[in-house]
Structure 1
Amino acid sequence: MFYLHQIDPIAIHIGSRGVHWYGIMYLLGFLAAWFLGRARVKAGRLPGVDANAYGDLMFYAMLGVVLGGRLGYILFYDLRTYIDNPLQIVKIWEGGMSFHGGLLGVVAAMFWWARKHKLAFFDVADFIAPLVPPGLGFGRLGNFINGELWGKPTGGTWGVVFPQDPDVTRLRLGAEALRAQFEAGTLNIYARHPSQLYQFALEGVAMFAILWWFSSRPRPRYAVSGLFALLYGVFRFAVEFVRLPDQQLGYLAFGWLTMGQALSLPLILIGLFWLWKSRKAPTLQPQPAAPPANA
């Protein structure tokens, strides 16, 4: 089955401007983390932390995601472009966010917040880890709607035809002509893997289901964070085999190693190390907040 990607990246048009789906996806990710985390705070999964303190943590984590994700993308993937055109840095709605940079930003936010509240960093990290996959999933949906980060040609009887694909843009067809050519079957040779949707399924849906189940009962310190790092590293490394490398970077080595894979390998190793370390680590027990006394 083939699909022609003709999704408007702007969800709501307001004059010459509009609200982009990419921004809405980020908002949905933060809202999911907020409500899921509030439920766990109420259940005492982070003893000594109330709703207000958790709100501060979410605010700092949000800043870490946005600032770290943007700076990470610039440093890891496209430094030259942003040196030549610094104003591109603020155009987050056009895409260009790095998970690994965002992760470092969130780690910095959690470290500062944990120190401020005199909590063990990994107790906070284990609490936050299951809340992250919904945001990853929504972010990948945003990538798909934007028509960016597509995969390699499927070479089969299915796939997605992206008008942004240079091979398609060279045909110089308008939207209606493109649709007509697609329905005639002449664009099938340009069908690509929707790698964004693969990542949505793995990094978003699968990771959330596994981590939420795994963390549904108390686990030793490091265990939830370790499983998060391991799962993301493995899923990202695998999908990169059918995803095109960033054009400005290409393959880093061996004719197949991408920047995404190079950055994911340390996560796999760190995840395995944390899981190993969790075997002799203490287990944080839930302490539900006491109900308010009757007046």
Structure 2
Amino acid sequence: MIQSDALSRWPGYNQTEEEERITMLPENTFSHDPDPNYLVGDNYGYSNDGDIIQISVIDTELQQKIKRGLEEDQIVQQVIKGLIEKELTPLKQKLAGWKYNDELLLFKNQTYIPANLELKQELLKLYHDLPSQGHPGIFGTMANIQRYFWWPGMHAFVKSYVQGCALCQQMKVNTHPLAPPLTPIKADPYAYPFSTVTMDFITDLPESNGYNALYVVVDHDLTKAIVLIPCTKTIDAIGTARLYHDNVYRRFGLPNRIISDRGPQFSSQVFQEMNN
């Protein structure tokens, strides 16, 4: 905004190049021209009785569905009847915070939604499912809806709806991932050295004397001793059995149990080759 001063009002004053680029807008540019297809609070946010209400925009089709839902609810009709009574009846005294405006029932300036499942689901689709809403989650959807609408048990309904949304559950970040349970392997109380062994390979090592891997054998149950045997990373079950025979079996004999992360088939083949 540029505020005029005495100099700029002088007839001989020459505007700068920056000021010449400024376009003066007519006064009616920002005038309020409501769309007749939408329902807006009367008198720019004031109800018929002069109280300030929430300014909300409701599609006319949705408005008609809400009205039909109100007409089908007998309890709601009694509430509306109590609100339009001119006299201060006991029922009207209990309806503090409720208003009836333009055939819509308002609770604390929020449009009341009757007990109609299809109507509630339609609201959730508008404020949650549409791409413009971006599936905002439970709290985001609640914040969007409760600015304009209210019904009993709304939070539980929204929570159930969002938790049943496949896209939300697919994109949800798991902040508490389940760790697989640890199941330690119990040691044999009558174990002898290398009666239970674990086998593994350390591969992709710098090549030395034609070897680029290590065959690792550990005594699991008793001494925790380790035997490191050079090999290649392409070694198979037969080669593994031969390395075990030459470096471990000659000193400790055959193991009773082999533990390996290469699967039971590999362990079985190695054990079979050692027996042969």
TM-score (norm 2): 0.23
Higher normalized contact order (CA 8 Å, seq sep 6+, divided by chain length): 1
Q: Which has the higher strand share?
A: 2
TM-score (norm 1): 0.21
Q: Which has the higher helix share?
A: 1
